[in-house]
């Protein structure tokens, strides 16, 4: 499984990056409302100066960066309201801190740079925990656990593991990291433009399987409950995502961790997960 674990971590790094630009008008409005929070002295210090957390409590709100185009985590509903799993988690965290949650919508490519520039206090956008990021930033405790999954037709009885992909036709984008995972088990890649096309080929019997994260599949099933597909295998190890915080903001990290612990204990995280995915992805299996 070590080979699969490494490949799944690589695959998960792409989560959040394959999105389109959010509404320029909405982004401009949010940035205008929140850039006043930026300031070079919003840092944890040891000489008695105000920390970012102190500033948040004083001003009565915390600012989170999110894409706004990444359903079901962060997107706009039919009334153009910013909604989603990550959005609601951030709102609940803010409530535990006793402040309001405000959001700055920005593209994935620049979202961490914006944190460095102090345009917002934290990022709530399915940021995967990696050793490279941990060297430069703080993470909250994880609030999502994502597993690699083998997806097949509901009638398929031949595939029940990653190893069973050997010699099978696996529908995937050729350049995706999931294709690398499938190929490592001997799968023959049937080229597609993305998950939507891949799963349709599986449903139509034109491919034996596809590989993706289990949360992507859960979101698909939440919208197409009658689709004749199923997960037959998941990886033993998970990729974990958390709220990203600047390295110096230790007091804020502690406060967010305490809030997440309370939200897990009172069942709020599980409730939000079931609302968006049909099952609890906030605990490690």
pLDDT at 42: 45
Q: 146-156 pLDDT, tens per residue?
A: 999 999 999 99
pLDDT at 30: 45
pLDDT at 177: 81
Domains of the chain in start order, with CATH, are: 24-144+240-277 (3.40.190.10), 148-234 (3.40.190.10)
Please choose, from the candidates 70, 72, 63, the residue with its C-alpha nearest in 3D space to the C-alpha of residue 14: 70
Answer for the pair 147, 216: CB distance below 8 angstroms, yes or no.
Answer: no
Kind and range of the H or E run holding 275:
helix 268-277
pLDDT at 6: 54
Q: How far apart are CA 213 and CA 130, in angstroms?
A: 17
pLDDT at 123: 98
Structure tokens at 132: 């490279």
Secondary structure in 3-state letters for 255-269: HHHHHHHHHHHCCHH
Q: How far apart are CA 259 and CA 53, in angstroms?
A: 13
pLDDT at 183: 97
pLDDT at 144: 97
Secondary structure in 3-state letters for 90-111: HHHHHHHHCCEEEEEECCHHHH
Answer for the pair 91, 18: CB distance below 8 angstroms, yes or no.
Answer: no
Answer for the pair 230, 161: CB distance below 8 angstroms, yes or no.
Answer: no
pLDDT at 47: 54
Please choose, from the candidates 35, 13, 16, the residue with its C-alpha nearest in 3D space to the C-alpha of residue 117: 35
Residues of the chain with pLDDT under 50: 1-2, 15-46
């Amino acid at each position: 499984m070590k080979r699969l674990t490494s490949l799944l971590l690589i695959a998960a790094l792409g989560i959040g990056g394959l999105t389109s630009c959010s509404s320029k008008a909405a982004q401009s409005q949010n940035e205008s409302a929140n850039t006043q929070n930026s300031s070079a002295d919003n840092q944890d210090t040891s000489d008695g100066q105000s920390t970012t957390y102190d500033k948040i409590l004083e001003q009565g709100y915390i600012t989170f960066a999110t894409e706004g185009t990444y359903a079901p985590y962060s997107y706009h509903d039919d009334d153009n309201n910013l909604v989603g799993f990550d959005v609601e988690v951030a709102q609940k965290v803010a409530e535990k801190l006793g402040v309001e949650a405000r959001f700055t919508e920005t593209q994935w490519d620049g979202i961490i740079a914006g944190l460095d520039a102090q345009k917002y206090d934290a990022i709530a956008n399915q940021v995967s925990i990696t050793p490279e990021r941990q060297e430069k930033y703080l993470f909250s405790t994880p609030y999502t656990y994502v597993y690699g999954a083998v997806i097949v037709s509901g009638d398929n009885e031949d595939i029940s593991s990653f190893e069973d992909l050997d010699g099978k036709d696996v529908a995937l984008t050729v350049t995706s990291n999931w294709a690398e995972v499938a190929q490592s088990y001997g799968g023959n890649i049937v080229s597609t433009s993305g998950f939507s096309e891949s799963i349709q080929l599986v449903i139509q019997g034109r491919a034996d399987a596809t590989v993706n994260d289990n949360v992507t599949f859960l979101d698909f099933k939440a919208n197409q409950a009658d689709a004749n597909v199923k997960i037959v295998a998941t990886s033993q190890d998970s990729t974990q995502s958390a709220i990203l915080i600047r390295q110096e903001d230790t007091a804020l990290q502690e406060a967010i961790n305490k809030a997440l612990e309370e939200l897990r204990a009172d069942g709020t995280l599980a409730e939000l997960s079931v609302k968006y995915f049909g099952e609890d992805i906030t605990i490690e299996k």
